[in-house]
Every structure is written in C-alpha cells, then in structure tokens.
Chain A
C-alpha cells in the first residue's frame, strides 16, 4: 500500500479519488475480516461521506491537508459521537457516546476518513487482545498467534493493509508491543502530548494515545495531527508542536554526534535469542549510521513491572467504579436493590482480566495495605525515573527490544496472568517515566514472525526520536515486508 504522501499526491493529481481509495479499503476489510477480526465496528457510511467531502474540495480546487481522504482506524476506547464505543466490554456493548474525543475530532477536521473502531483487550487491559469480550484478533503473519495488545486490532489493521494508519492507546506498552508483534511502527508519545479527552480511562497517570503506521514518516504525520494542547484534558501539555514529518532526514545529521544508549538490563534472562540477535544487529546499523553506542545501566528497570501492576490496577479500580449500571451501559434487571444491581451487573459485564485487575487494585488501595503496595510502587516509580534521568545525561536516545519474544500462540498464556504480564517488561518503565518511545520493525525470527526495536527518547523529544527511527528504517528493508494473506 502507498505511503501517506503518495496517497496525497494521487488525490491532488486526481489520479485516484478519495471515494475510490475508501471503497477499495472497505472492500479489503470485508475480505480480510473473517480471518483477522481487527474491527469491532465498521463505519462505512461515515467513511464514504467523509471521502465525498474531500473529493468535493479537490474538485473545487481547494487545498487539502496531508491526511484529507486518508482512511484510518480508531481503537474502540476512543469516543466518537453517535458511533458505538465498547472498549471490547460487554458492559458497554450498547453504549453510544453523546460526545467526541479530541483526537477523533482533530482527525475529522483534517479530512481523514474513519473506517471504524478496532478490537482491543477489554478496557485496554492485556497484552494479546485475547481479553476482548467479542473475540480475539489474529496475527496476520500467523493466524494461530496473538496480535499483541491491548491495541491489537489497530496493529493488525495496519499490518494487513486494512488501513494505512490507526490510533491506539498505550498504558504499559499497548501500542509498542502489538506494533512489534505485527511488524509495524507504533509510537507512544510523551505523557500529556496528545489529549485524552474522550479516551475511556484505564490508568490515568499512564494512559497516552499514539499512532500506528507502516513507516516512521506516516506515524510522524499522524502524530502531528493529533498532538497539542487541549483545555479539556487537565494533563495536556501547553507546548509548541513541531512539524515532525518535515524534520525527518534519511541520515543522522553529521554534526549531531548522536549518542545512543543500549539498556543493559533488557538483555538478561527471558529474552528470546533470536530477538536478541536481531536487536543487536539493529544497534550495529545505528552505529554504522554514525551514532556513538554506549551500554547504559538502568538498575531499577526490572522493578517497573511489579510497580506497574500495582499502580495501573489501583487506578483502574477507581476509574472503573463508574460502571454502575445507573447512567449508561449494561444493567442486570433482576437485582432487587442497588448494591445487588452493581454487583450483578459488574459480574456479568466485565471479563476475567478486568475483574482480576479491579480486585488487585481494590486490595492494594484498601486499608492497611496502601503503604505496602501503592505508596511503595509510587516510590519505586521515582527510582525508575531517576535511572532514566541519569541515562539521558549520557545519551540522547535509548534502545532495547520492544518485546522479549515474538508473537506467542493464542491460549498459551491465558491461564497464567503473570506470564502474560511479563510480555510488557520492556515497555512498562517508559510509561512510568512518561517518556516517548517508538517500536520499529527490525527483522524476523525463523518462523517468519516480526521483531521490534524500541527507541526511547527524552521528554518531548519526539522530533529526535522519530529522526533516529526514520534513519534506521530507511537503511533497512524490514518495513517493506508484508504478511501473505489469502483473500476469501
């Protein structure tokens, strides 16, 4: 599939209309969905309406932006007015938001064509999209394997060319890990760079929205469109947004003397040998491009996982208290009093992993345990941040694997939650520190499954991070590889 700039050129030169591009994309989705299940809801009418509006602008000789007429998919935890938003949960199965999230509002204003809402682990809790209340999403490189998660639907939609772009959300790796497992680019921006107004909250001190794309340049274009201050999100940062895509160059700036740090602790036990080999080769490529490579120690990196699985479920237990069967969502009609109604509705509407995290968070915050768990985890969070701070005194960008393994078999980890949690080991510390990070394809294992390289930047240095990722990508061929899918 063409890049965003190529599609834009085709539109402007009237070689293809937005309606043609959208129709072809919707047809491809129809053909592939029975095997992939990336989407929970397809907004074909809205897409065609948006495409027609762009074509009218082009016909009238009006100038159009880069995203005008470009089809894209949105993770189903971002509200769109009048369109079902389920978070892949039975509790929100029939919920139609009366308001629009800031990110989708910005996309609609940019003329982007919204194809539909993508599958996820229920309420973004999971690493495989197997926790969806509406069935799992399959990895296009091997349908028997997981897509990663929680933004598995968005990752698969982009990897299988059902959409050139998609939005995901990342609380502990939910964009980067599925991007890695599906062989696409996925980025989590700095905490607060992209407004979360209208994003259904999971863990508010960690959640961030970001792009999926088949190239770093496409991801940079989408990021530029959604980033920026929003008074409706109290955590939104008031900062200038550079033109990320324009700043990209094929090489490192010769005067930049770029310093890249390899996080030592990520190469320990649990790391798949083939992943290790490909990531090390990628680091050599970065060195050949002119970067100075240093091995950096972040001694508390590994403590990120236990700290996260206290902090995130604690925040989730509070955030998900809103599903009370009173104002919206599912209600158990048989309950005879209010408390029974809460309990039965939530028992019926939430899946196992969501219940598990609500239980874990409620326990960690309950009287007598707060200091031992939640407060301790927040203190450890400080230590993890300090490790990153001192690392970034020595280097400009950090690298490590995105995921310790390639895509695992569906069902392999569903009975052992702790094993599932471990697949976020490399991505979680980044969320705890609020840093931007991107996963780019860096090779395949012997089974033909994609491997991802994670690049981590300083706060608000998305510009540099994307430049490094782009230079790496442009000197490799990985992003041209496509899964073979039989259209039925």
Chain B
C-alpha cells in the first residue's frame, strides 16, 4: 500500500524528521490503515457531491473598523528567538 520510500517522502513534505524505527513502524501501520480505508470503495459516490462542512455557512461581511488586538510585544515575547521587531530564524538561503 505504502512503502518505506513513500513514507520517507511524505515525512519530508510534512517537515518531520523520522527515525529509522519510526519510518519502519509507520510503513507498517499506515499500510494497514490505508487498507482499512479500502472499504470506502464499496460505496458508489459517482454522482454524490462532497460535504466540506456539516452545516452550510455563508460568507460573513462586516465593516472594516479598527479593533484592539494583541500587542506586537506580547506576540513577539512568545517567539523562541527575536531581534528588534522581528522573529529570528536560522539561515534560509544557501550561499
């Protein structure tokens, strides 16, 4: 259903560093879960529309008025690293 190589690729897409043991365990477990999902093919859904959420909603519009929000400082305080007014992160681009 899903092999080790695919698990490795999906982990990269999900930005997860998996250990070799985790990769092996997930390959086995995800395969059996995906196999379990196979039963959905028993249902004919050819002309069935998808449901994205249970209760129908319409867009909500409101006047664009200034409201108090959480302050800059309070938000920055929660960041693992900050410098001046910015979130600080390690190198993004290669040399």
Contacts of A398 in B (CB 8 A): none
Given A191-B54, A231-B62, A358-B14, A338 and B29 contact (CB-CB distance below 8 Å): no
Complex: how many Å from CA A326 to CA B79? 6
CB distance from A202 to the nearest CB of B (A): 14
Write the B32-70 contact mask toward A (1 if CB under 8 angstroms, else 0): 111011011101010011111111010010100000001
Interface check B20, CB cutoff 8 A: no
A254 CA to B81 CA, complexed, in Å? 65
**Contact between A205 and B45, CB atoms less than 8 A apart:** no
Chain A residues within 8 Å of chain B by Cβ, number = 71
Bits for B54-95, please: 1 = Cβ < 8 Å to A, else 0: 110100101000000011001101111100000101111010
Contact size range, B: 35 or more
Interface set, chain A 359-394, CB cutoff 8 A to B: 359-360, 362-363, 366, 373, 375-383, 385
Q: Which residues of B contact A363 (CB under 8 A)?
A: 2, 6, 10, 30, 34
- Secondary structure dominating the interface of B: loop
* Distance of B43 from chain A, by nearest CB (Å): 6
CA distance A306 to B34 in the complex (A): 9
A380 touches B80 (CB 8 A): no
Is A347 a contact partner of B17 (Cβ separation < 8 A)? Answer: yes
Chain B residues closer than 8 Å to A435, beta-carbon distance = 54
Inter-chain CA distance A433–B77, complex, in Å, is 40
Binding site for A on B (CB under 8 A): 2, 6-7, 10-19, 22, 26, 29-30, 32-34, 36-37, 39-41, 43, 45, 48-55, 57, 60, 62, 70-71, 74-75, 77-81, 87, 89-92, 94
A-B contact pairs, 22 of them (CB 8 A): A96-B78, A98-B70, A192-B55, A205-B52, A206-B54, A234-B60, A303-B39, A306-B36, A306-B40, A309-B37, A310-B37, A326-B89, A327-B75, A331-B80, A338-B92, A355-B16, A366-B10, A378-B52, A379-B45, A382-B49, A383-B48, A385-B51
Q: Which residues of A contact B (CB under 8 A)?
A: 95-96, 98-99, 190-192, 205-206, 231, 234-235, 237, 300, 303, 306-307, 309-310, 317, 321, 324-331, 335-344, 346-347, 350, 352, 355-356, 358-360, 362-363, 366, 373, 375-383, 385, 417-418, 421, 431-435, 459
Given contacts A231-B60, A328-B78, A434-B53, 16 further A-B contacts (CB under 8 A): A99-B70, A190-B55, A300-B43, A303-B39, A309-B36, A309-B37, A326-B89, A337-B91, A338-B92, A339-B15, A355-B26, A378-B51, A381-B50, A382-B49, A421-B33, A432-B51
